[in-house]
Amino acid sequence: MTLIRSRGGSGLWQRVEMENNARERRDDIVITAAQRRFASWMTDVLVYVVVLNLFVEYADAVVIDSFTISILTAVLLKGLLDVIIGVEHRVVGFFSSRPGAINRIVGLLATFSILFLSKFVILEAVDLVFGDHVDLGHLLEVILLVIALMAARTGMGAIYGALGRVHKNGSAPSPTTT
């Protein structure tokens, strides 16, 4: 913040006016749904690339021929996981809106089936798209990979949410300057 002094005027009032103008400019920033979707995809794909390459490095059964293919695999996994999670949420919503214990049980079984069978869908889709260039390992490695991908995604979301929290007094956290 800069204090501007002028002839005949109070520098304090100009500083207050500058702060108000800056605050108004910050309030004009609008994040669209398309920007939010892009940021989500970009963050998830970058996180997935890191997780995939850590699995390539530390799990002998997971093999990806190149970094470029790992990026493309991350994009494919992001799309597949979004579809799978969307289907799972719809099934949960369908059965949870119905009364009765039998619907809860069927809903749990359906959700478990979707989550379990989706690993085979992921394996097959990766095999169809990339062939011998990508091997995600066996079922155990795929399950661990999907859990790691979702945990990393959740962790990044938690960090992002914590950075945007508003203090109890209604003010946003002040940015630190370097």
**Which tokens hold the place of 6?**
């002028």
Sign of CA dihedral 163, 168, 171, 174: negative
95 or 165, which is more confident: 95
Residue at token pair 């059965």: 95
**Which tokens hold the place of 65?**
């021929």
Helix (H) or strand (E) holding 135: strand 134-135
Q: How far apart are CA 75 and CA 49, in angstroms?
A: 9
pLDDT at 4: 46
Question: Which band of pLDDT confidence, cut at 50, 70 and 90, is reported for residue 2?
Answer: very low
Contact by Cβ (8 Å): 119, 147: no
- Reported as a single tens digit per residue, the pLDDT across 39-87 is 889 999 999 999 999 999 999 999 999 999 999 999 998 999 889 989 9
pLDDT at 55: 94
The ranges assigned to domains in the chain are: 45-157
